[in-house]
Structure 1
Amino acid sequence: MQCKRKVCLCALLCGAVFVMLATHTIQKNSLLPITLLVPRPATATTTKAQPEAPPPATPTLPRPSGESCSCPSCVADKGRSEWFDQRYDSEQQPFLTAQNTSLPPLTLKWWLALQRSAPDLKVEEVIEKMFQVIASPSPDWRPQKNRCNKCAVVGNSGNLLGSNYGPLINSHTYVIRMNKATTGGFEKDVGNKTTHHIMYPESAVDVQPGVHLVLLPFKLRDLQWVASALSTGEIKMTYMRVKERVKADKDKVIVVNPSFFKYTCDKWTEHHGRYPSTGMLALIFALHICDEVSVFGYGADSQGNWHHYWEHNRYAGAFRKTGVHNADFETQVILKLDSEGKIKLHKG
């Protein structure tokens, strides 16, 4: 009996030892080492550096331009000067064409009264005969969005002497001179480029090939004269002896419209003086054929003298005190155009 108990106890102990050993083995095989529980860092690999992508190109911004042309600021743009808008009429036709030979009755009456004309002449017939000699000008004078005509209007004032404006004047698209203006010997101050030369019979000069002869007709006789001066040379007198022939390209002659005279007198000089001066008409003409206008050689010199830069007579200056033109009022208009940003006035 006692032996049986020993056997049972021994079997029980062996069973307990077996269970303990089996449990230990299972735990060992089921638990991973702690190092395996922590994720390994990715293996570092050496890669070739990729070049950085170039920055996006800066978009080219369009150059600021005006509303009616491609210049930064255009003469014809409205809404920038109330004073200017009240006077400037973009519909005014600056010059005569073969298709427009009739003048409004009020304009005709006013114009014919400026200087005496032969009473038996018919205006339409004179204009038609004139266009048998000269070509009708191109109609593309109005501002265009893809164009920027920069113009220099060069007066004849002695204030140009010593100015060194020559290169600046020459840089403009159009250079407008007037009357007996000369450039020889004065190129440093006045330049030597001319595209338009404004004159009337009594102030006529020859112009170089390619230059527009711009006639200011103060009377009907002047229309006859330009046709004669470019053909037969038969007209030798107006109210004084005049140049019988003029050298100029017939296909580049421009005759300022008498209606444009009246418009300049009504709107710009406001009937101060009998009629506007050549300088004032040239400036208003430029405001209608140019997109930007720079003005040189207007007014008195620094000592207050009104004279031409090529003359030694420092007290010349036609019409300033005669009452035909009002130089002081015209000067105020020019200064106002400058202050309103419609022209750039270069003073000597």
Structure 2
Amino acid sequence: MKSVRLHWICLLLLSVCLLLWYNHVMRTGLSMKTGLRGYVRVHPNTRSPSYLLDFRCGRCAVVSSSGQMLGGGRGQEVDQQDCVIRMNAAPTVGYEADVGNRTSLRVVSHTSVPHLLRRQGYFFGREAETRYVIWGPEKNMRQDGKGKTFNALVMLAKKHPHTHIYTVTREKVQDCDGVFQNETGKNRMKSGAFLSTGFFTMILALEMCDSVLVYGMIDGSYCSLANHSLVPYHYYEPSRVDECRMYRSHEHAKRGGHRFITEKLIYSRWASQGKLRFAYPPWSP
């Protein structure tokens, strides 16, 4: 009897172990397959499985880095949303009353990664729970050891293993190029334009959020108004160039410019579908 009881106990323990193993495999497999395609997590070991960005929210606040945020006092309103999405290395410390304090996700250009490297204590200490989505050209993001930006992200992942860093895949960047061409009728590369971080941010926000409130973004015709206000391009760089001046110079650049004004006209059309709303400054599509 004792041997029979021991036999059944062993079978039970084996069954439990198999069940736990199966659940682990299923969870791992699902986390690799579910989530938003086009956004892949960076691991310290580049041979690790590719995990997609599995992050969804109800109502999101997309906070622009524009000087339009200064003096608006919308910080508390921003922080009340389910998720707060910011861009590049825009700080919150010292600007909480206007831009809020919470950061759920940052969309970061390859050109802003050096800012993350210089202020690791802030971005991966104070904002340790923040997810980072990094976009850039293939030459910088390639994973064969020659991608300068990707190599820096792997280093960050090794130093801060609990940090959630994702890259925008080459295919996703091409999809965004296709969106720009469908909306404007112009090939992005042939027109000499580079998509802005704001463009990638708006596409991601519409994918991951049920509704999107945009803060600090003016409409495409704002800079043509004779009485438009002069604000800095970035709220945290008050002495730098005026926002509208920056927009106009980029809009008409033959090579290497962001089409900020054109992109805002695109956002306006997207807003007419009801999921996207410009909360501050308030304007209707």
The answer to whether TM tops 0.5 is yes
Q: Determine the structure 1 residue equivalent to 2:14.
A: none
Equivalent position of 1:267 in the other structure:
179
> Superposition pairs for residues 4-43 of structure 1, below 5 Å?
none
Greater strand share, structure number: 2
Displacement of 1:94 in angstroms is 3.2
Q: Report the aligned-residue RMSD.
A: 3.0
Letter in 1 for 2:109: Y
Of residues 9, 19, 39, the one that matches 1:95 is 39
Per the alignment, residue 156 of structure 1 pairs with 65
2:135 corresponds to 1:216: yes
* 2:276 is aligned with 1:343: yes
CA distance in 1, matches of 2:75, 2:162: 28
Partner residue of 1:293 out of 193, 209, 212: 212
Q: Given that residues 212 and 277 in structure 2 are in contact (C-alpha distance below 8 angstroms), is that contact kept between their aligned partners in structure 1? A: yes
Residue matched to 2:4: none
Moved more, 220-229 or 296-305: 296-305
Structure 1, 325-334 or 221-230: larger mean CA deviation: 221-230
- The equivalent of 1:254 in structure 2 is 166
Q: Hey, what's the Cα distance between the residues in 2 that align with 1:337 and 1:128?
A: 37
Give the deviation of 1:131 after TM superposition: 5.4
C-alpha distance in 1 between matches for 2:51 and 2:58? 17
* Counterpart AA for 1:310: Y
Matches for 1:1-348 after TM superposition, within 5 Å: 93-96=37-40, 130=46, 132=48, 136-137=50-51, 140-141=54-55, 149-204=58-113, 205=116, 206=120, 207=123, 208-218=127-137, 219=140, 220=142, 221=147, 222-231=149-158, 250-268=162-180, 270=184, 271-272=187-188, 273-299=192-218, 302-303=228-229, 305=231, 307-315=233-241, 320-321=249-250, 322=253, 323=255, 324-348=257-281
Partner Cα distance (1:292, 1:131) in 2: 36
Whether the 8 Å CA contact 1:183–1:191 is kept in 2: the answer is: yes
Assess if the C-alpha contact under 8 Å between 1:211 and 1:248 holds in 2: no
Query: Distance between the aligned counterparts of 1:202 and 1:290, measured in 2?
Result: 26
**Could you say which structure has the higher helix fraction?**
2
CA distance 1:192–1:260, change in 2 (3 Å): same
In the TM superposition, residue 328 of structure 1 has moved relative to its aligned partner by 1.3
Tell me which residue corresponds to 1:62: none
Other-structure match for 1:66: none
Shift of 1:340: 2.6
Q: Deviation digits for residues 78-124 of structure 1, max 9, x if unmatched?
A: xxxxxxxxxxxxx97231268xxxxxxxxxxxxxxxxxxxxxxxxxx
Pair 1:178–1:140, CA change in 2 (3 A): closer
SS at match of 2:40: coil
Q: Which residue of 2 aligns with 1:236?
A: none
2-structure distance, mates of 1:252, 1:306: 31
- Matches of 1:162 and 1:210, distance apart in 2: 28
Tell me the distance in 2 between the aligned counterparts of 1:189 and 1:131.
42
Contact 1:293 1:343 in 2 (8 A): yes
Q: What amino acid maps onto 1:280 in structure 2?
A: F
Report the Cα offset of residue 229 of structure 1: 3.4
Rate the CA distance shift 1:149–1:228 in 2: closer, same or farther, 3 A.
same
What is the CA–CA distance in structure 2 between the aligned matches of 1:187 and 1:328, rounded to whole Å? 27
Contact 1:213 1:248 in 2 (8 A): no
* C-alpha distance in structure 2 between counterparts of 1:173 and 1:131, whole Å: 34
What TM-score do the two structures reach when normalised by structure 2?
0.63
Do 1:130 and 1:226's aligned partners in 2 also have CA atoms closer than 8 Å? no
Shift of 1:185: 1.2
The alpha carbon displacement at 1:342 in A equals 2.4
CA shift in 2, pair 1:249/1:347, >3 Å: farther
Aligned to 1:96, the other structure's residue is in SS state strand
Letter in 2 for 1:327: F
Give CA deviations for 1:199-234 in whole Å, capped at 9, x if unaligned.
234313231211112211323222222112343xxx
Q: What is the Cα deviation at residue 255 of structure 1?
A: 1.4
- CA-to-partner distance for each residue in 1:171-208, whole Å, 9 max, x for gaps? 12221111120111111110000011222343132312
